[in-house]
Amino acid sequence: MRVKVCGITQVEQLSILPELGAAFAGLIFYPKSPRYVLRHMTTSQIKKEATTNKVGVFVNASIEEVLQMVDECRLHMVQLHGDETPKYCEKLADYISVIKAFRISETDNVNWRIREFSDVCDMYMFDTEGAGYGGTGKKFNWDKLQDVVVGKPYFLSGGIEPTDVNKLKEFQTKPEAKALFAIDINSKFESLPGIKDIGLIKSFTDQL
């Protein structure tokens, strides 16, 4: 099972992720986030790191800003975590692979939420609804993905923690996990915001 570690802020932790079994690094380019990467690393430092797949996380940024960071940091993918429109996603997808994130609530109709984006992005991410645009550290009800016609690979996010290995393995056996591409982990694997607990990540990926 592929793992994306989001909210990386340290050069050393970015470079060691492949050794921990993580396939993707999430770098947050949202100034209001406590894990805003440019508060800790320069674009040249990010650009030099070539051992892992770098995913830039953006929230309602201009297309010009996103493309500038894609170029300056040599990002491999972008994750759009705000209120970006299908038209916006389509424009970016001409230049780079796009993951559109959806924050899921208990009342959401997921099929309805994703239908306009099916032809304009490469992947989805399903996360937990909360105040603002940051992570909540809480899970959404994964049963909300039952009977959803996803139609493309997706990341499962939202409060996933080290003790969820068995729950994730069980989820993988269900029809709704057919398009599951990767697990996204963040705050439950930290000692401080943006500082990852290397041991927890390694133990987690070893068990998956």
Write out the two tokens for 105: 């609530």
Q: Is 73 a catalytic residue?
A: no
Q: Which of 73, 89, 121, 127 is catalytic?
A: 127
Q: Is 127 a catalytic residue?
A: yes
Q: CA 101 from chain center: how many Å?
A: 8
Q: Is the dihedral of CA 143, 185, 130, 55 positive or negative?
A: negative
What is d(CA 13, CA 204) in angstroms, rounded to the nearest whole number? 16
Q: Which of 6, 73, 89, 121 is catalytic?
A: 6
Helix (H, G, I), strand (E, B) or coil at 155: strand
Helix (H, G, I), strand (E, B) or coil at 194: coil
Q: Half-sphere exposure of 109 toward its Cβ, with a 13 Å CA cutoff?
A: 3
Q: Count other Cβ atoms within 10 Å, centred on residue 18.
A: 13
Active site residues: 6, 127
